[in-house]
């Protein structure tokens, strides 16, 4: 059945690929992002682009109201917008840490809250939250990013219970290594934050590791693996609570479950 779908963070990566795939599936897709000029291909494919800053309440309300005005309903919200602030806890400013939470958790929650009244009224809906393998593990210099994704996991679980009486599904996608621009935005800020400080040496090693990993196609899965999962969730009457996809994702989560904190820490440090 044709569904009305809003995808945040649709100007690139998993969000854009997912939007294009869901348009091909015959759905009415709205790609939301700040960089509206980056979504012309979504329009060309038969979808819609809409300016959406998840940290701006007015922007969220305008986007949701526009979709309701044009379509009369929203069947699926895919909360995909997110990014990573990487650096030692001492090196990351309060402003950067706060913005990390504003985008990855608080903004996501506000978009969800804006959509839910309409889903409750129509007695159906699906919320998809893009978390990460990083919501289950930890890594060097990733404290603030991991904090947001760990929080999103628990937030989503509680939300799922709240919405069950209204026939609204909540599913989490936990990507591992995916070929996107995600890694490209990590390197220089990490180096800049650490320059001249106590964590400069380890920051250089971690940055080099990120560069190597994101430059090696064998260590990354295509964005299509995430789109495939999104299609499965949307087509399912009762989707699973979690979907783990991407390079080393299932293996990494299994090791985290199997090993002690200290054992897992040794493997992670060696990897980086």
The domain spanning residue 89 has which CATH number? 3.40.50.720
Residue 184 has pLDDT above 70, yes or no: no
Q: Which of 59, 136, 149, 227 is catalytic?
A: 149
Report, as an integer, the average pLDDT of 121-133.
97
Give the tens place of pLDDT for each residue, 32-87.
999 999 999 999 999 999 999 999 999 999 999 999 999 999 999 999 999 999 99
Q: Is the Cβ–Cβ distance between 6 and 76 less than 8 Å?
A: yes
Residue (of 50, 49, 70) closest to 60 by Cα position:
50
11 in active site: yes
Q: Which of 30, 145, 214, 243 is catalytic?
A: 145
Q: Is the Cβ–Cβ distance between 80 and 8 less than 8 Å?
A: yes
Residue 211 has pLDDT above 90, yes or no: no
Q: Which of the four pLDDT bands, split at 50, 70 and 90, describes residue 179? A: confident
Q: Is the Cβ–Cβ distance between 133 and 174 less than 8 Å?
A: yes
149 in active site: yes
227 in active site: no
Report, as an integer, the average pLDDT of 200-211.
90
Q: What is the pLDDT of residue 95?
A: 97
Nearest-angstrom CA–CA distance, 82 and 52: 13
> CA dihedral defined by 211, 252, 106, 73, rounded to 10 degrees?
110
- The model's pTM: 0.94
Q: What is the pLDDT of residue 270?
A: 87
- Count the domains in the chain: 1
Q: Which of 11, 59, 139, 227 is catalytic?
A: 11
Q: Where in the sequence is the domain holding 246, given as residue range(s)?
A: 4-271
Q: Which of 131, 139, 156, 194 is catalytic?
A: 131
Q: What is the pLDDT of residue 215?
A: 73
Cβ contacts of 9 within 8 Å, gap of 6 or more: 15, 32, 33, 80, 81, 82, 130
């Amino acid at each position: 059945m044709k569904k009305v779908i809003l995808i945040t963070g649709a100007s690139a990566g998993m969000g854009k690929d997912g939007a294009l795939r869901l348009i091909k599936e015959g759905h009415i897709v709205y790609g939301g992002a700040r960089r509206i000029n980056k979504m012309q291909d979504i329009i060309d494919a038969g979808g819609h682009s809409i300016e959406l800053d998840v940290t701006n309440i007015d922007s969220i309300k305008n986007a949701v109201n526009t979709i309701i005005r044009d379509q009369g309903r929203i069947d699926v919200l895919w909360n995909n917008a997110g990014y990573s602030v990487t650096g030692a806890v001492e090196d990351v400013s309060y402003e950067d840490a706060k913005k990390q939470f504003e985008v990855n958790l608080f903004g996501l929650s506000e978009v969800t809250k804006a959509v839910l009244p309409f889903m409750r009224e129509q007695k159906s809906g699906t919320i998809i939250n893009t978390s990460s393998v990083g919501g289950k593990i930890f890594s060097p210099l990733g404290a603030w990013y991991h904090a947001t994704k760990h929080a999103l996991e628990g937030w989503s679980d509680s939300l799922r219970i709240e919405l069950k009486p209204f026939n609204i599904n909540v599913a989490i996608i936990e990507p591992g290594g995916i070929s996107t621009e995600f890694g490209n935005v990590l390197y220089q800020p990490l180096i800049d934050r650490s320059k001249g400080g106590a964590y400069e040496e380890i920051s250089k090693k971690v940055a080099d590791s990120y560069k190597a990993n994101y430059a090696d196609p064998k260590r990354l899965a295509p964005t299509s693996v995430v789109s495939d999962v999104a299609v499965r969730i949307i087509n399912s009457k009762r989707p699973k609570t979690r979907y783990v996809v991407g390079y080393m994702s299932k293996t990494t989560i299994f090791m985290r479950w199997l090993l002690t904190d200290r054992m897992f820490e040794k493997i992670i440090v060696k990897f980086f």
